[in-house]
Structure 1
Amino acid sequence: MPAELQFSASDSGTPSPESSVAGSMLATASWCARRGWPVHPLAPGLKTPAANCSACRTNPHAPADCPCIPAGRWCHGFYAATLNQDRIQRWWSTRPDFGIGVACGPAGLIVIDIDAHPAEPPTRNRILPGIPISDSVDLTGLANGFHTIAVLAALRGQPSPADDETTLRVRTPSGGLHVWYRAGERRWLSSVGSSPARALAWQVDIRAYGSYIIAPGTTTSRGSYAPIGTTREPAALPLWLAQELERTGHLPAPSIPAPRPVPPRAHQAVLAAGGGRDHAQRTLATILAPVEACGQVAEGAGFSDTLNRAAYTIGGLIAAGRLHQADAEQALHEAALAARPGQERRIEQIIRSGLAAGLKRPLHTSGRRP
């Protein structure tokens, strides 16, 4: 890890790593795990997780069903994140060029991700989602996330998180800033990859449950993620920020409603054998219920894996002659589009790969994956 990433022995009860293994990703990964932050490898020089094994790449499946993770392999990104020091030793000893990702949800972390990308500011209603900005307000000079988070903080009479010296802050190679906080008891949702309406502010995203953050000390081809100031531990999430996150939809729905009625075409997906039309409808409704429920949960809550699993299961039932292919596929598409409107291309790709895998493995006795 970089020399500026210094941790004292009192931080963890173990000797300070920087003096003996400066630049070692293994030392940084071990340090994170000792703090209860599960880690997973990032591809060398990149911000993305290390590639899956060939079997996982060629046979799409949900992480929960993958034998690689319990076997100690790093497939499926942050789903493979671990606190196991033996596993960490093996991973980074084998590949010392791996970067380090921290799975935010299991680590109990929420990170304010402030960007400084050169871009034209959006319309006023998107600068602070949910907060109208009058035309009388002069926005001259507003150019990045540092400015928008400062505006939000000023509106609430609070200092900007970018200036919070009580918590761990990490400068990114692009000039942005990661501000780390402890999430507390609430299961905050990530806004990375979601609609702009759920960002905290323009160029200010949230990394929490359903995403990962790059560990301080990691180096990519663009530079290092370097901590600033002297604080090396995340502070508790400030109350005012928690209120803003709740306002902008970063909490899951209080409860998942009962599944909506099966789309009309699903009623035509009749079983070729084993129970008839009513059983077909119940089977399909059971498979589609988790996909439909995703419509009540913000992006980042596992939609891709849920849809992939449903497509795989339906493919297996089609292969076994238990569902009519055209109608079952149509029902799946309708449920997915209802849950994630406007994501037709992504949905089509997930369904196509999941069905292709399922069609190779007929399910004769149940809708569960073997």
Structure 2
Amino acid sequence: MLNDALNYARRGHPVFPCGIDKKPLVQNGFHAATTDEEQIRSWWEKWPNASIGIPTGPDIDAFVLDIDLPDGPNSLATLEAKHGPLPSTLEQTTGSGGCQLFFKWPKAGPGVRNSVGKLGLGLDIRGAGGYVIVPPSGHPSGGHYTWKKGHVRQRGVNSGVLEVALGQAALGGIWAGCASFGWVLSSAMASTCM
């Protein structure tokens, strides 16, 4: 796991160790995330099987839509039927079989905050002040996080669902056209630990 954590850090993504229960193993949690190789080596020498946590938000230039089983896929399908499909983006399968979609952090507007279930049952947002576990980390279910083959969902580029997620309607069109913000996460993240 150490080599994987170092690979993320070398690509500019700060990491921190988490237990199999997804809870941070270090004081200050995701605030302690770093790209410093010496610190990362120290952590993973102490906890060699630690999962890899990465903070979401402006630090990694991304927020994450977490689609949990069993209800998340149906909730997302309902939103997409109403607002159009999500844009293609980097996707990982969680250890429990759900998935997480990584989207580019918006350069304009108020940013993206964490939420649980506000979009629908089984749909959570990890934004500023949040974090996710990344591959090849383990999961309490016994499964492992993995990047989806090809790492990109081949979907349309309609922004309706993201507008709902980001409060587009309430903001009066500040973020018109999500595609114009370049929602696909950086190639650096997409090429990490494959």
Q: Same fold (TM over 0.5)?
A: yes
Who is 1:174 aligned against? 96
Distance 2:62 2:45 in 1: 26
Asked if 2 retains the 8 angstrom alpha-carbon contact of 1:109 and 1:208, the reply is yes
Who is 2:24 aligned against? 49
What secondary structure, in the 3-state scheme, does the structure 2 residue paired with 1:180 have? Answer: strand
Specify whether residues 249 and 189 from structure 1 end up closer, same or farther in structure 2 by C-alpha distance, changes over 3 A only.
Answer: farther
What secondary structure, in the 3-state scheme, does the structure 1 residue paired with 2:78 have? Answer: helix
Q: What is the identity, as a one-letter code, of the residue corresponding to 2:61?
A: G
What secondary structure, in the 3-state scheme, does the structure 1 residue paired with 2:65 have? Answer: strand
Who is 1:149 aligned against? 76
Distance 1:101 1:250 in 2: 32
Distance 1:38 1:108 in 2: 11
What secondary structure, in the 3-state scheme, does the structure 2 residue paired with 1:27 have? Answer: helix
What secondary structure, in the 3-state scheme, does the structure 1 residue paired with 2:119 have? Answer: coil
Aligned length, in residue pairs: 164
Q: What is the identity, as a one-letter code, of the residue corresponding to 2:95?
A: P
1:217 positional shift: 0.9
Who is 2:187 aligned against? none
What secondary structure, in the 3-state scheme, does the structure 2 residue paired with 1:184 have? Answer: coil
Instruction: Tell me which structure has the larger Cα radius of gyration.
Output: 1
Q: What is the identity, as a one-letter code, of the residue corresponding to 1:116?
A: L
Among 73, 79, 86, the residue aligned to 2:31: 79
What secondary structure, in the 3-state scheme, does the structure 1 residue paired with 2:166 have? Answer: helix
Kindly indicate which of the two structures has a greater share of residues assigned to strand.
2
Q: Does residue 116 of structure 1 match 2:69? A: yes
Q: What is the identity, as a one-letter code, of the residue corresponding to 2:23?
A: T
Distance 1:201 1:183 in 2: 21
Among 27, 31, 55, the residue aligned to 2:7: 31
1:201 positional shift: 1.7
Aligned-pair Cα RMSD in Å = 2.6
Specify whether residues 229 and 104 from structure 1 end up closer, same or farther in structure 2 by C-alpha distance, changes over 3 A only.
Answer: same
Specify whether residues 83 and 98 from structure 1 end up closer, same or farther in structure 2 by C-alpha distance, changes over 3 A only.
Answer: same
1:239 positional shift: 3.7
Who is 2:121 aligned against? 202
Distance 2:147 2:103 in 1: 14
1:248 positional shift: 7.6
Kindly indicate which of the two structures has a greater share of residues assigned to helix.
1
Specify whether residues 184 and 28 from structure 1 end up closer, same or farther in structure 2 by C-alpha distance, changes over 3 A only.
Answer: farther
Q: Does residue 244 of structure 1 match 2:171? A: no
Specify whether residues 107 and 31 from structure 1 end up closer, same or farther in structure 2 by C-alpha distance, changes over 3 A only.
Answer: same
Who is 1:96 aligned against? 48
1:184 positional shift: 2.9
Asked if 1 retains the 8 angstrom alpha-carbon contact of 2:79 and 2:161, the reply is no
Who is 2:151 aligned against? 231
Alignment of 1:121-132 (within 5 A): none
Regions of 4+ moved over 6 Å: 248-251
1:250 positional shift: 10
Specify whether residues 248 and 78 from structure 1 end up closer, same or farther in structure 2 by C-alpha distance, changes over 3 A only.
Answer: farther
Cα deviation, 1:89-127, whole Å, max 9, x if unaligned, reads 22113321111111102212111100113xxxxxxxxxx
What secondary structure, in the 3-state scheme, does the structure 2 residue paired with 1:107 have? Answer: coil
Distance 1:39 1:172 in 2: 17
Cα deviation, 1:64-89, whole Å, max 9, x if unaligned, reads xxxxxxxxxx3121111112122112
Q: Unaligned stretches of 5+ in structure 2? A: 172-194
Q: What is the identity, as a one-letter code, of the residue corresponding to 2:97?
A: G
Specify whether residues 239 and 36 from structure 1 end up closer, same or farther in structure 2 by C-alpha distance, changes over 3 A only.
Answer: farther
What secondary structure, in the 3-state scheme, does the structure 2 residue paired with 1:110 have? Answer: strand
Q: Unaligned stretches of 5+ in structure 1? A: 1-24, 51-73, 118-143, 252-370
Cα deviation, 1:302-344, whole Å, max 9, x if unaligned, reads xxxxxxxxxxxxxxxxxxxxxxxxxxxxxxxxxxxxxxxxxxx
Distance 1:114 1:248 in 2: 20
